[in-house]
C-alpha cells in the first residue's frame, strides 16, 4: 500500500507543478496541497490545502466534494481527521470552490461528485494528507522540545514526548509549525500511515456535520444565497426538446407587480450539441420569485417546436422493443448461443421495459450568478463546479479561469445537478441585466425540461438442458444514449452505458453467452440518474433468472448462486471484451469478483429468513447486482392484496462496499436507495406526446411517500472484504430493489411483471 501511495503522490505533484505553486505559499489556500505552510497568518498554519490549524486548536478540513445527502462532508474529512489524530469535536469543514488544479487531490474526477466515487478516489489521498499534517506537527513539537521527531507521537489533538510525558495541544504548535522548512516535493519521505487497528473514526458511526443546521433551517442551499441588487428569474422553455421561440408577447407579464424585464435567451444553433448549455427560452426577471412565476404564466409565446415532435411514447417504446429484438452490435460473446439454443431442451424468452425517469430532487435546479464581477461569481447547487465554470464561461465568451464557482449544499440531486445548464441561464441573464441573477427552476420545469434516465427495452432468450442447467443466455438491449448530448446523431449504445450491468452480466457459469445492443434515437435530453443503466439491467437480469429458475423448477436462490459461482474474478477479456469501462477505474484495482456477489446474496437470504413458509399473498423476492464496484443483494417481503395494492413489511439489504468509512452513512444511503428503488418500481414513468413530456409535478409524477414506503429496512454491511479498496455506496443500493420486488410479487401471486412501474392495475389479480 505504501508503494501505491507513494506513486500516486508523485503523480499528483508532477501534475500540478509543485515548484511553481510554492511561490504562492504565503497566500492562504494558494499553495500546493503538499506544501507545508509558512505562516499563513499570525494565528494559523496550513500544512496543506486540505487542512489548516488555528492557534485555538481548531482544525479546518477542506471538503472538495459536493454534499447532496450522501454524507460526503462528513465521510471524506473523517479520513483526514483520523490520520491527523484530530479530535472530531474540534474539526470544522470548509467547502472548497471549484478549482480542479487545487481541490482534486486524487487527480481523477475534476471535482465532479458523481459515479459514487468520492470515497474510493479519496480514501488514500485523504489519509496521506492527514498523515503529512500530523508529521509536520510532530516535527514542530520535536524542535520545540529539542528532541528527535521519532520520540514524538500524536494522540487526540495533542503531541506527546514519549519519555518526558510533555505535551502540546495542536493549537500551541501553530507558530512553530509555520516556521518549519518546506519538504522537498516528491523526494520527501511519505509519512507513516496508521494501521487500521489504530483508526479512531474510519469504520465508526458519526452523525453528519450538517445535522444541526439541517434541523434548524440554517443549512444553505442553492436558492438561499442572495446578493445586493440581485434579481430573480424564471424561464419559459420550449415544451419540445430543441424547440425555439418564434415570437412572444410580454405585455401582460410586464404588468405584474414585481416583474421588471422579460428577456429572450436565444436557443442554441441547430448544429450545436446540447451538452449542458442553456436551452433558451423567455425569461421573466424581477424582485420576487412569485412575481416572476406569475409573470411567466402571462407570457404569450409562439414556439417553433423543432425536430422532435415525432417523439411519442406510443411509438417510441415499440421502436425500442423492436430494436432490442434486433440487437446487432455484439459486445460480449462466449461460446455459441445459437448452437446452444438450437439444441436446448427448452427455451425461455422474455422482454423487459423500463420507461424514462426524471430526477426530482426536492430542490429544483437553482443558481445565482454575478456576471458583472471579475472573476464572474457563481453560487450553485452543483455536482460539477468546474464544468459549471466551463459552461458559464462559454456562455459569456470568457475563459474558465474568469469564473469562480461556490458550491452550496444540494437539496438532493441524483445526477441532475451534474448538468449546469441552469447556471448558464443565470449567467446569460446576469450579463443581460447587469446585476446578479438567480434562476429558479420550478417543479414543472424540472419534470418537463429535464435530463431523463433513458427508456429501455431488453430481450432475453435462454436455453435449459434437461436437468435445468442454463446452457445459453442471449441478451439484447436498446436505449437512447446519453452520449447524444455531445454527439446528437449517435444511435449506438456507449461502452460506458453497456458497462453498467449489461456487459458484466454476472452469471459467469453459463457456457454460452451473447450480449448485444440495438440502436435508438435520442429525441430528448438523456442524462445519468442515480445508478443509471444499472436500473434496467439489474431489473431484467434478476427477473429473468427468476423466470428461468421457475422453468427449471429450482429454488431461485440456489439457482442464482449456481450461475454466479464463487470465482475470485470474472475476466471479460476471455469473452472477447476489449474495452470495459469499469466505472472509470482499472480492472486490476477493482476487479469483478463473483464470490463477493454470491456472498452478499447468501447473507441477505439468511438475514431475511429466505425459505421460510409464507402466508397466502406474501412473497419474498431476491435480487443482487454489482455496480460502482460494490456488491448488493436485496430481499423484499411483499404482501399483495386482491386489488393489486401492496405492502412491503420488510426489506433486507446486504452490501459489500469494501473499505467503508462511516457505517451510519452507508446504512442511510442504502435505506434511501430502497425508497428510491421503490419509487422506480411503483411510480416512475415519464412519457411524451408529440415531443412534449406529459407529466409536470408530483400529482402525475408521484414519488414514494411515508404511507407506501418500506418502513423496516435492515442493512447488513458485509465485512468479509473490508480490507479491499473502497467501492461506491450512493448508487449501488438502487438497482436490486425493483427486481427483488417483482420477484417477491411473483412468489406471492404467481404473476410475472416485466415492465416498470409495477402499478396496482398491473398487479391486480
Residues that bind another protein in the complex, under the rule CB under 8 A:
67-71, 207-208, 210-221, 223-224, 226, 232, 257-258, 287-291, 293, 360-364, 409-414, 440, 442-444, 664, 668-669, 671-676, 678, 697-699, 703-707, 709-713
CB nearer to another protein: pick between 491 and 668: 668
CB nearer to another protein: pick between 12 and 414: 414
- Which residues 6+ apart lie within 8 Å of 390 measured at CB? 400
Least spacing, CB of residue 536 vs another protein, in Å? 20
Nearest to 273 by CA among 319, 313, 242: 242
CB nearer to another protein: pick between 291 and 471: 291
Least spacing, CB of residue 419 vs another protein, in Å? 17
- Give kind and range of the element (H or E) at residue 512: strand 512-517
CB nearer to another protein: pick between 291 and 390: 291
CB nearer to another protein: pick between 99 and 370: 370
For 547, phi then psi, to 5°, come to -65, -40
Least spacing, CB of residue 209 vs another protein, in Å? 11
Least spacing, CB of residue 554 vs another protein, in Å? 34
CB nearer to another protein: pick between 290 and 486: 290
- Which residues 6+ apart lie within 8 Å of 686 measured at CB? 355, 356, 357, 358, 447, 452, 693, 694, 695, 701
End-to-end CA distance of the chain, in Å?
57
Contact between 96 and 139 (Cβ < 8 Å): no
Q: What is the Cβ-side half-sphere exposure of residue 563, based on CA atoms within 13 angstroms? A: 30
CB nearer to another protein: pick between 224 and 402: 224
Helix 737-749 / helix 534-551 crossing angle, nearest 10 deg: 30
Nearest to 82 by CA among 135, 50, 126, 138: 126
Q: What is the Cβ-side half-sphere exposure of residue 91, based on CA atoms within 13 angstroms? A: 29
- Which residues 6+ apart lie within 8 Å of 218 measured at CB? 212
Query: Read out DSSP for 33-67?
Result: TTPPP-EEETTEEEEETTEEEETT--EEEEE-S--
Least spacing, CB of residue 538 vs another protein, in Å? 18
Strands 437-440 and 231-236: parallel
Rounded CA separation 721/729 (Å):
15
Give just the sign of the alpha carbon dihedral 470, 472, 476, 482: positive
Least spacing, CB of residue 278 vs another protein, in Å? 21
Least spacing, CB of residue 639 vs another protein, in Å? 16
Q: How many helices (H) and strands (E) in the chain?
A: 20, 28
CB nearer to another protein: pick between 121 and 416: 416
Rounded CA separation 34/37 (Å):
9
CB nearer to another protein: pick between 585 and 671: 671
CB nearer to another protein: pick between 440 and 603: 440
CB nearer to another protein: pick between 220 and 551: 220
CB nearer to another protein: pick between 211 and 247: 211
Least spacing, CB of residue 712 vs another protein, in Å? 7
CB nearer to another protein: pick between 191 and 411: 411
Rounded CA separation 415/453 (Å):
10
Tell me: cis bond preceding 375? Omega within 30 of 0 counts.
yes
Least spacing, CB of residue 410 vs another protein, in Å? 6
CB nearer to another protein: pick between 210 and 575: 210
CB nearer to another protein: pick between 66 and 274: 66
Rounded CA separation 284/424 (Å):
16
CB nearer to another protein: pick between 230 and 762: 230
Rounded CA separation 58/53 (Å):
6
CB nearer to another protein: pick between 504 and 671: 671
∠ CA 302-293-426 to the nearest 5 degrees? 85
Least spacing, CB of residue 225 vs another protein, in Å? 9
Least spacing, CB of residue 666 vs another protein, in Å? 12
Please report where in the chains the cell 434562476 appears, as a residue: 439
Plot region of 589 (φ>0 → left; ψ -120 to 50 → alpha; else → beta): alpha
Least spacing, CB of residue 649 vs another protein, in Å? 13
3-class secondary structure, 132:
helix
Least spacing, CB of residue 387 vs another protein, in Å? 20
Least spacing, CB of residue 663 vs another protein, in Å? 12
Please report where in the chains the cell 452523525 appears, as a residue: 207
Q: Where are the alpha helices (DSSP H) in 348-442?
A: 385-396, 421-433
Instruction: Give the number of residues written for the chain.
Output: 765
Q: Where are the alpha helices (DSSP H) in 109-210?
A: 118-145, 174-178
Least spacing, CB of residue 180 vs another protein, in Å? 39
Tell me: cis bond preceding 757? Omega within 30 of 0 counts.
yes
Please report where in the chains the cell 443500493 appears, as a residue: 733
Please report where in the chains the cell 422579460 appears, as a residue: 262
Contact between 658 and 629 (Cβ < 8 Å): yes
Contact between 368 and 227 (Cβ < 8 Å): yes
CB nearer to another protein: pick between 165 and 707: 707
Least spacing, CB of residue 447 vs another protein, in Å? 10
Least spacing, CB of residue 703 vs another protein, in Å? 5
Least spacing, CB of residue 362 vs another protein, in Å? 4
Contact between 364 and 412 (Cβ < 8 Å): no
Nearest to 246 by CA among 233, 261, 236: 236
Nearest to 747 by CA among 561, 556, 469, 603: 556
Amino acid at each position: 500500500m505504501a508503494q501505491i501511495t507513494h506513486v500516486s503522490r508523485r503523480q499528483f505533484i508532477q501534475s500540478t507543478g509543485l515548484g511553481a505553486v510554492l511561490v504562492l505559499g504565503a497566500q492562504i489556500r494558494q499553495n500546493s496541497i503538499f506544501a507545508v505552510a509558512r505562516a499563513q497568518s499570525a494565528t494559523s498554519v496550513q500544512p496543506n490545502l486540505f487542512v489548516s490549524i488555528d492557534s485555538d486548536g481548531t482544525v479546518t478540513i477542506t471538503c472538495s466534494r459536493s454534499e447532496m445527502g450522501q454524507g460526503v462532508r462528513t465521510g471524506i474529512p473523517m479520513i483526514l481527521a483520523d490520520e491527523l489524530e484530530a479530535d472530531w469535536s474540534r474539526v470544522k469543514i470548509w467547502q472548497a470552490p471549484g478549482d480542479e488544479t487545487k481541490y482534486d487531490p486524487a487527480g481523477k474526477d475534476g471535482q465532479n461528485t458523481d459515479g459514487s466515487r468520492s470515497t474510493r478516489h479519496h480514501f488514500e489521498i485523504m489519509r496521506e494528507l492527514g498523515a503529512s499534517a500530523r508529521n509536520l506537527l510532530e516535527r514542530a513539537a520535536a524542535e520545540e522540545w529539542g528532541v528527535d521527531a521519532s520520540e514524538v507521537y500524536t494522540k487526540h489533538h495533542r503531541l506527546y514526548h514519549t519519555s518526558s510525558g510533555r505535551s502540546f495541544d495542536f493549537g500551541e504548535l501553530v507558530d512553530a509549525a509555520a516556521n518549519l522548512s518546506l519538504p522537498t516535493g516528491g523526494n520527501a519521505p511519505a509519512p507513516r500511515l496508521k494501521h487500521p487497528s489504530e483508526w479512531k473514526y474510519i469504520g465508526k458511526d458519526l452523525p453528519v456535520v450538517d445535522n444541526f443546521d439541517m434541523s434548524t433551517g440554517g443549512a444553505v442551499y442553492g436558492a438561499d444565497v442572495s446578493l445586493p441588487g440581485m434579481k430573480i428569474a424564471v424561464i419559459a422553455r420550449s415544451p419540445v426538446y430543441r424547440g425555439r421561440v418564434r415570437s412572444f408577447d410580454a405585455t401582460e407579464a410586464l404588468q405584474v407587480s414585481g416583474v421588471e424585464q422579460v428577456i429572450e435567451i436565444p436557443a442554441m444553433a441547430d448544429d450545436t450539441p446540447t451538452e449542458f448549455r442553456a436551452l433558451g427560452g423567455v425569461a421573466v426577471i424581477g424582485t420576487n420569485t412569485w412575481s416572476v412565476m406569475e409573470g411567466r404564466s402571462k407570457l404569450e409565446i409562439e414556439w417553433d417546436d423543432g425536430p422532435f415532435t415525432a417523439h411519442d411514447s406510443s411509438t417510441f417504446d415499440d421502436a425500442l422493443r423492436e430494436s432490442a429484438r434486433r440487437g446487432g452490435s455484439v459486445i460480449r460473446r462466449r461460446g455459441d448461443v445459437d448452437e446452444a439454443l438450437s439444441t436446448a431442451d427448452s427455451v425461455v424468452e422474455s422482454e423487459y421495459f423500463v420507461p424514462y425517469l426524471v430526477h426530482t430532487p426536492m430542490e429544483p435546479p437553482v443558481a445565482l450568478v454575478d456576471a458583472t464581477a471579475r472573476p464572474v461569481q457563481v453560487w450553485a447547487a452543483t455536482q460539477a463546479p468546474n464544468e459549471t465554470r466551463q459552461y458559464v464561461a462559454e456562455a459569456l465568451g470568457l475563459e474558465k479561469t474568469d469564473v469562480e464557482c461556490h458550491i452550496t449544499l444540494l437539496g438532493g440531486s441524483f445526477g441532475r445537478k451534474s448538468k449546469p445548464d441552469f447556471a448558464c441561464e443565470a449567467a446569460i441573464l446576469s450579463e443581460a441585466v447587469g446585476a446578479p441573477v438567480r434562476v429558479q427552476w420550478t417543479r414543472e420545469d424540472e419534470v418537463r425540461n429535464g435530463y431523463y434516465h433513458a427508456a429501455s427495452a431488453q430481450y432475453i432468450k435462454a436455453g435449459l438442458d434437461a436437468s435445468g442447467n442454463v446452457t445459453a443466455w442471449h441478451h439484447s438491449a436498446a436505449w437512447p444514449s446519453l452520449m447524444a448530448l455531445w454527439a446528437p446523431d449517435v444511435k449506438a449504445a456507449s461502452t460506458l452505458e453497456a458497462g453498467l450491468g449489461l456487459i458484466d452480466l454476472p452469471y459467469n457459469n453459463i457456457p454460452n453467452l451473447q450480449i448485444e445492443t440495438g440502436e435508438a434515437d435520442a429525441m430528448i435530453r438523456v442524462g445519468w440518474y442515480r445508478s443509471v443503466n444499472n436500473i434496467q439491467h439489474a431489473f431484467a437480469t434478476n427477473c429473468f433468472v427468476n423466470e428461468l429458475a421457475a422453468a427449471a423448477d429450482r429454488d431461485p436462490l440456489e439457482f442464482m448462486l449456481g450461475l454466479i459461482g464463487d470465482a475470485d474474478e470474472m475476466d471479460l477479456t476471455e469473452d472477447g471484451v476489449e474495452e470495459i469501462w469499469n466505472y472509470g477505474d482499472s480492472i486490476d484495482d477493482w476487479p469483478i469478483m463473483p464470490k463477493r456477489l454470491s456472498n452478499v446474496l447468501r447473507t441477505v437470504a439468511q438475514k431475511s429468513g429466505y425459505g421460510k413458509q409464507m402466508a397466502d399473498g406474501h412473497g419474498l423476492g431476491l435480487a443482487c447486482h454489482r455496480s460502482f464496484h460494490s456488491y448488493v443483494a436485496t430481499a423484499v417481503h411483499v404482501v399483495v392484496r386482491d386489488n393489486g395494492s401492496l405492502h412491503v413489511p420488510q426489506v433486507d439489504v446486504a452490501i459489500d462496499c469494501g473499505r467503508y468509512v462511516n457505517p451510519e452513512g452507508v446504512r442511510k444511503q442504502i435505506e434511501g436507495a430502497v425508497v428510491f428503488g421503490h419509487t422506480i418500481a411503483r411510480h416512475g414513468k415519464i412519457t411524451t406526446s408529440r415531443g412534449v413530456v406529459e407529466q409536470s409535478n408530483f400529482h402525475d409524477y408521484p414519488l414514494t411517500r411515508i404511507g407506501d414506503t418500506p418502513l423496516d429496512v435492515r442493512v447488513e454491511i458485509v465485512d468479509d472484504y473490508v480490507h479491499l479498496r473502497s467501492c461506491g455506496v450512493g448508487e449501488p443500493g438502487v438497482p436490486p430493489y425493483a427486481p427483488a420486488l417483482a420477484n417477491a410479487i411473483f412468489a406471492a401471486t404467481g404473476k410475472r411483471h416485466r415492465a416498470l412501474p409495477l402499478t396496482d392495475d398491473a398487479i391486480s389479480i
